[in-house]
Structure 1
Amino acid sequence: MLSATSKDVIRATLPAVGAAIGDITTLFYRKLFTAHPALERDFFNRGNQRQGTQPQALAGSIAAFATLQLEPDPARVNAILSRIANKHASLGVTADQYAVVHEHLFAAIVEVLGEAVTPEVAAAWDEVYWLMADTLIAMEKGLYAGAGVVPGDVWRTVRVRERRHESADSVSFILTSTDGTPLPRFAPGQYLSVGVRLDDGARQIRQYSLCSAPREGDWRITVKRIRATTFADGSVAPAGEVSNHLYHNVFEDDVLDVTTPFGDLVLPEDDQSPLLLASAGIGCTPMIGMLHHLVDNADARSVSVLHADRSPSAHAHRSELGALVERLPGGVMHRWYEDLGGRAAGTGISAGRADLGAVDIQPGTRVFLCGPLPFMIGLREALLEKNVPAENIHYEVFGPDSWAPAPA
């Protein structure tokens, strides 16, 4: 808990720091990468750095954490930090790296805010930083212990047993161990990191949800190639570096460097609440893993599955998703396609974007969301309008979590 003295200082300075936090985090990464260029090349997602989404997410997380020290909300703090801790564990972050971040972050704070950073201000924000860092370190220690690994020692080599097309732009890889031993269990909904060496020598890391049944044996991930997109305002979303590399270059019997599975978008144990699993695009992958788990356990509860996509041909795992829902006694599926491709709408299949108007949501339903951020924000707002409690809505973001500061 933040000390009373520091709390007063944070309350007084939060508006100024909050207004400058975007400049601070951008400068922080510049300083960090100047001092440690290998981090940008081989550890951080350089695409997110170029687009500015990683500094934005860091800024939002720091500002949200500081705000929550003034009006404590332990559940909200845990939700923000749990997602960060799982991502860090999946990257193999260790406790000593927080001191490196502290050095360059506070150098950026001093440079941006100048004389406003008095010793009292510096001490208060230092306390905020280490309160956040120590909490993350403790969470990550618990995650490593739960996974049965030494902190940071999360990488292993696996072999691609099978490559399978799931749509024109997506392929799944069935991964097996290189020595014939079964790969460890994971929780339904978790992801792993994949590290690849690109043509320019950089080692880049990305996360992919596990979409196989969460039991010992093989693992399966699905990768969607991402084409560069130019928007009406002239801005450009770049092509996916790692996803495209995997899509075009990885085949049967190739080896990949992957991590132990982590992630907190998981089905809770010993909870028979009704479920709503909503996804868009490749966001269906954690839902596929959850559905395999529900089918394996002959789960009889109410399970509503919602999916939105560009078209039936673009829908990865389309047939598998339908088959899994049909095997659940309480399973119901709703699908929306922006382009039905000449097909007529029918039972459970509609044209356009996802709409909860005709979806029956039972009291106590737990909701799991995964997909593009605008899709999840829109669906969350619609769910809140239907009186679904905010604490029952869980989500996974592919990339930096710029949604974390959103109010509960």
Structure 2
Amino acid sequence: MLEGQRTDPQGSPIMLSDTSAPIIQATLPVVGAHIQEIAGRFYEHMFAGRPELLDGLFNRGNQADGRQQQALAGSVAAFATHLVERPDQPLDHLVSRISHKHVALGLAPEQYQVVHDNLMWAIVDVLGEAVTPEVAAAWDEVYWLFANVLINKERGLYDAIGLSPDTVWRRWRVAEKVQETEDVVTFVVERIDPREVKPSLPGQYVSLRALMPDGIHQSRQYSLTRADDGEHRQFAVKRVHGGNAPDGEVSNLLHREVHVGDEVVLSAPFGDVVLEYSDRPVVFASAGIGITPMAGMLSHLVKSGSTRKVRLLHADDAPGTFALRRQVEEDLARLPHASMDVWFLEPSAAAAASGSAGPEAVERERAGLMDVDEVDLPADAEYYLCGPLAFMQSVRSALIGRGVRPQDIQYEVFGPDLWLADFQ
């Protein structure tokens, strides 16, 4: 057991001790007001002392643009607020999302102690004398309550597939490289590792670990865009412009330097936004590269011979930037009750003139931003969203405004979750 670790059984209410609860309640406004600064100092201090953590585990692109600091701050603040205001409510969404990200990177339990030591240092560094021994002990308890829940969840995820932080990785060979659009490439990889691989679930992603020119490994997550056939996996990579800037270094390397016959290192598939197996209608709403998990879910529906009613709503810049469109339309055509509506900021000339275009699976091609109020939605449907944060916030609000229950809406965030909508 890690030093300071609490042993609350997984699934039971997570509650602060009677000693710590009033201290956290009193200091939460101050810590919350400075949590972004604390997170920034935490990462700065940790990487100064442990630079090896940037080699394969932490995404330096997210560090460079501040998203990782923002996500950590949001998670800690949300968890502490939960302990004070809603201790009897479950933490499933927050814990599941973070845990799947962690195991997809091979995070080990002992690394939580490293995080603890640097985070507590940062709290004292920022707040100074306000952090009395009693305050430090209370926030120490908050940290280990959170860490213990994550450790238990992650241990369960590893155990479920019979792997460990050191064995989640496999080598695959690139069998095909397909230019989908100017900025999106599909990679089809074939199995070369004789060890058993875990089948993916519809909507899951894998981590890809790449060796960068400076000798540092960097990992990025990519949604699987087609159901596994046992020997192959498929994912799409959108190039992030910026050359060798940290936020685009992996995508640019994959586009420029990884070709058919090369080998790549992928994790086992993970991800908590997974298509539910039911007979209910399903609506997918995506924008841009957010089509990737939707393509994977559609592929699984086709493979399983599903007869569910399926509605795909997709928004993009123009027809030429709609990645995986041919695959998506072919899969929709194979489903007996499926259709698609698309919105383009720059629609094709024919669509702009007529208001509709494309194959039979496409009911209507519209100009402008997606507006779900323009379409009829099936009753009692499940909804899956993926795309830029502002897009998902807008669509989710519109759906709730139309009477869709929040629990019927799942969303996938690429990178750190800066929204935490399911936890609010």
TM-score normalized with structure 1 length: 0.94
- Asked if the contact 1:184/1:216 (under 8 Å) is kept, the reply is no
Find the residue that maps to 2:349 and give its secondary structure: coil
1:146 alignment partner, one of 160, 182, 193: 160
Relative to structure 1, is the Cα distance of residues 64 and 223 closer, same or farther in structure 2, using a 3 angstrom cutoff?
same
Provide the residue aligned with 2:133 in structure 1: 119
Counterparts in 2 of 1:3-402, with a 5 A limit?
Answer: 3-72=17-86, 77-179=91-193, 183-228=197-242, 240-269=248-277, 271-344=278-351, 345-346=355-356, 347-402=363-418
2:404 counterpart letter in structure 1: V
Q: What's the secondary structure of 1:240's corresponding residue?
A: helix
Structure 1 residue runs of 4 or more that deviate by more than 6 Å after TM superposition: none
Measure the CA separation in 2 of the matches of 1:239 and 1:341. 32
Amino acid of the structure 2 residue aligned with 1:404: L
| Separation of aligned partners in 1, 2:213 and 2:335 | 45
What's the CA shift for 1:334? 0.8
For 1:73 and 1:246, locate their aligned partners in 2 and report how far apart those are by CA, in whole Å.
Answer: 45
Determine helix, strand or coil for the equivalent of 1:167: coil
- The CA deviation at 1:224 is 1.1
Tell me, in whole angstroms, the C-alpha distance in 1 between the residues paired with 2:137 and 2:145: 12
Q: By how many angstroms is 1:227 displaced?
A: 1.4
Distance (whole Å) between structure 1 residues aligned to residue 150 and residue 195 of structure 2: 32
> Is the alpha carbon distance of 1:76 and 1:320 closer, same or farther for their aligned partners in structure 2, counting shifts above 3 Å?
farther
- Number of aligned residues: 400
Give the Cα separation in 1 of the matches to 2:339 and 2:391: 20
Measured in 1, the distance between the counterparts of 2:90 and 2:375 equals 28
Q: CA deviation at 1:302?
A: 1.7
| Residues 296-353 of structure 1: CA deviation (Å, up to 9, x unaligned) | 1221122111111111111101111112112222212111111114232304211111
2-side partners of 1:334 and 1:76: how far apart? Answer: 36
The TM-score, its normalising length taken from structure 2, stands at: 0.90
Q: How much does 1:373 deviate?
A: 0.9
Q: CA deviation at 1:124?
A: 1.2
Gaps of at least 5 residues in structure 1 are: 230-236
Q: Distance in 2 between matches of 1:393 and 1:405?
A: 10
When the two chains are superposed, the root-mean-square deviation of aligned CA atoms in Å is: 1.9
Distance 1:406 1:89 in 2: 21
Amino acid at match of 1:263: G
With over 3 angstroms needed to count, the CA separation of the structure-2 counterparts of 1:340 and 1:220, relative to structure 1, is same
SS class of match (2:350)? coil
Task: Please give the alpha-carbon distance, in whole angstroms, between the structure 2 residues aligned to 1:263 and 1:73.
Answer: 26
**Could you tell which deviates more after superposition, 67-76 or 238-247?**
67-76
Contact 2:47 2:54 in 1 (8 A): yes
CA contact (8 A) 1:94 1:151 kept: yes
Change (3 A) 1:385 1:314: same
Q: Which runs of 5 or more residues in structure 2 are unaligned?
A: 1-14, 357-362
TM-superposed deviation, 1:181: 7.2
